[in-house]
Amino acid sequence: MLRKFSILAVAALAATCLNGLPAAADADGPEQIPNGTFDTTTDPWWHTGNLEFALTDGRLCTDVPGGTVNPWDAIVGINDIPLVKDETYAFGFFATGTPAKVARAYVQLPVDPYTQYISAAPEVSVSGNAYTYTFTSPVDLPDAQVVFQLGGSAEPWRFCVDDVSLRGGAEPEVYQPDTGPRVRVNQVAYLPKGPKNATLVTDATEALPWRLENADGETVAQGTTEPRGVDASSGQNVHSIDFGSYVTAGTDFTLTADGETSHPFDIKADAYADLKLDALKFYYTQRSGIEIDDALRPGYGRPAGHIGVAPNQGDTDVPCQPGLCDYRLDVSGGWYDAGDHGKYVVNGGISVAQLMSEFERTKNAPTAKAIGSLNIPESGDAVPDILDEARWEQEFLLKMQRQDGMVHHKIHDENWTGLPLLPHLDPQKRELHPVSTAATLNLAATAAQAARLFAPYDSDFAAQNLTAAKKAWAAAKANPALFADPADGTGGGAYNDSNVEDEFYWAAAELYITTGENEFKDFVLASPRHTADIWGTGGAMDWGNVAALGRIDLATVPNNLPGRDDVRESVIAGADKYLATVEAHPYGLPYNPATYEWGSNNLVINNAIVMAAAYDITGEIKYRDGVLESIDYILGRNALNQSYVTGYGEVASKNQHSRWYAHQLDTSLPNPPRGTLAGGPNSGIQDPVAQAKLDGCKPQFCYIDDIESWSTNELTINWNSPLSWISAFIADQGDGAVPAASTCKVTYTVHGSWPDGFTTQVTLENTGEKAIDGWSLKWSFLSGQKVVQDWNASLAQQGATVTATDVTYNKKIMPGQSVTFGFNGASAPGPNPVPDLFLLNGAACA
């Protein structure tokens, strides 16, 4: 009866650590704690059976055994504490910990669900400190509990407490975020030849002077601000600052205006090279079913979670919820979805799809570069690391498919668990939840994409995915309206979605690209989502809105869909919409709804991905610049003046909601790894921490970097996936210089094909004004096609990518002249479309 399972009722409010008396002494109401000073007795305080009380120097002390798992495994408490609705209380105590440990102090409902009206997690030290908190009771309650939860430590420790006080009549504390200097910048970096914008918060209505200073304090640029009026998303009167004319690289620049100086930032070409990798490295430490090697991620090593080793009850042999099915499945592996231990197909679907699309972009986009090493266990094999990481999740998705082709929606704990809790210590029973049409179509889409991308590296795995995709498609067609229950939210999120028209479209698009089959072509062309305006005023895509995934892949991955040019134009139209939003917004973000949604940061980035896709299609620099300005918001140019990516920026999120990146609650645990995106402002403020501190917030202010604020500060696999995609895009832009105009043209003709092969002729024309003296031409096949014989050029292949280099007699190509070469290839399952992209000596041809 004493344990707290549900994180949905946690409330943490304003707190101050003092060296003097608790602030409860400042409240004028009567004392509610019958014995908080422990002068002669510990009565009427109680403890769990694994503790004993001792009076030491007028303090209540207890030795807490090591080896407990949950905070509630060792508790000191007192019952029958009266609370009055709408009364503001001051709660305080003095505590020590030997050695120093995090204790949890709650005023709570004494029965399930143990709703907490004040939640605190101070790190109590050997010398001790006084702690004070205020909260307003939302209920009349004659018998509340005050408890100290002390469990969860591997080692034993001693806890002492004194001067416990709870008094009414306190003044409510008003939360004021520390927003730092009023000049808001991208705290990481701007590209030297890219756009550079900042926002000034000021009462002034007239233009103001600004100056840019380098690391030596020298003024290197100056100008005047542009007044923008009151920004509805923040409630602030703001000015814009454009310092894009300054193009010299350097570090530790600052921007000064209206007597305020910004946080420092860099201007350099390689500024996003680390983030490109760190945002992807996030996934290794989210893995389930494998030991996380501390040598690969120092400070993040941990035993494998959920491999059927006690106290875990999964995931190698998992039953369905009671009465649902008579079978059990091995659903080990995959990524933990967020800060809990659940694994959800619809969240995993968009996540793995965006990782695979990030890789696929390296085959089809003019500016894309190789991803690089992620330092994971598979590094060094013949497969790109990003695909190895994606495979870890894709294999889990395949395991969630039952024999008839339908896919279970999710697998997670029977009940919610508390924080912190490492995966291997989770004692909860694991359960499979019902199959759903949405989950089944997610597998159809990702497996179809995996089939073409893994074909050059593992043809058996590719074939397994294609079989699963087709089986899932047929099952979804036969069961088009099996929806997840919105009430199925005990122990994990519901992730319910009652409109799967977009999932059908996405799955059909991926299956068509991979197979070229008429069934999928016809479905795509007939789908209302194919021609609809899917570019929402909020976000273009998220786990419940996936049509854009299919539309963008149809536009950017080679295929022979009738009317494909119209598809590409529709993506450009979506980018125009988001670019207009960027240009109109004084904080320069491509997202401007009246209220911000849960996970707004991922919506901002997904909208930027639409602009990035338009840039890849058109080469028009305005779309690229829209992306670069959008990332400024994520990295500090926002109302809160903070970066939402851990480890990036002078002030950055670091306490995202997580059971194992829980340093805020247990200092022996780490913060989230570098490159972890926080969910960001959420006008709904559904968690009690946010409700207590952010009530009435303007959209941009509806965020707090607190581990218990799961509605504003969650981390998830489907939020880091767009971050990794867009970080790679930005890193690929170099110093931001405008690419040179094309000086070549390629004609690629498949002259004939037979069941297991084809022959192709390639003509490379010099359309420039200078001779080409030595050439290398690169392109990629859609899937598992392979070169087997060449002539008039030397061809080499790595994965799906082919590089043709000159031979002695055709090394030089004069302006207006061309060379022709050819090859025979081995076919692969599916179509063999003409590549969209050819790179001559690294530059795109027409």
Active-site residue list: 340, 657, 705, 714
Report the DSSP beta bridge partners of residue 319: 328
Report the DSSP beta bridge partners of residue 108: 116, 145
The pair phi, psi for residue 717, each rounded to 5°, is: -65, -30
Residue 464 has which token pair? Answer: 């397994």
Report the DSSP beta bridge partners of residue 219: 213
DSSP 552: H
Residue 172 has which token pair? Answer: 């409510």
Going by C-alpha positions, the residue among 78, 234, 133 that lies closest to residue 586 is 234
Integer Cα distance of 463 and 458 in angstroms: 9
Please answer whether residues 704 and 725 qualify as being in contact, where contact means their C-beta atoms are separated by less than 8 angstroms.
no
Within 99-249, strands assigned E span 101-102, 104-108, 116-120, 123-124, 129-136, 141-149, 157-168, 183-184, 189-190, 197-201, 209-213, 219-224, 226-231, 236-242
Please answer whether residues 519 and 471 qualify as being in contact, where contact means their C-beta atoms are separated by less than 8 angstroms.
no
DSSP 284: H
Rg (CA), the chain: 29
Integer Cα distance of 773 and 794 in angstroms: 16
Report the DSSP beta bridge partners of residue 95: 129, 161
Neighbours of 815 (CB within 10 A): 13
Going by C-alpha positions, the residue among 90, 126, 88 that lies closest to residue 15 is 90
Within 194-273, strands assigned E span 197-201, 209-213, 219-224, 226-231, 236-242, 250-257, 260-261, 265-267
3-state secondary structure string across 616-637: HHHCCHHHHHHHHHHHHHHCCC
Which residue reads 């917004």 in tokens?
585
Give how far the C-alpha of residue 87 lies from the chain's centroid of Cα atoms, to the nearest Å.
39
Integer Cα distance of 626 and 195 in angstroms: 9
Integer Cα distance of 763 and 777 in angstroms: 11
Mention every residue, 6+ apart, whose C-beta is less than 8 A from residue 565: none
DSSP 645: B
Q: Is 402 exposed, middle or buried (0-12, 13-18, 19+ CB in 10 A)?
A: middle
Residue 113 has which token pair? Answer: 């669900």
Integer Cα distance of 719 and 657 in angstroms: 13
Integer Cα distance of 148 and 259 in angstroms: 47
Please answer whether residues 542 and 345 qualify as being in contact, where contact means their C-beta atoms are separated by less than 8 angstroms.
no
Residue 392 has which token pair? Answer: 């870890």
Mention every residue, 6+ apart, whose C-beta is less than 8 A from residue 323: none
Integer Cα distance of 97 and 341 in angstroms: 30
Integer Cα distance of 92 and 789 in angstroms: 80
Name the 3-class secondary structure at 95. Answer: strand
Residue 716 has which token pair? Answer: 């998830």
Residues in the chain: 846
Name the 3-class secondary structure at 801. Answer: strand
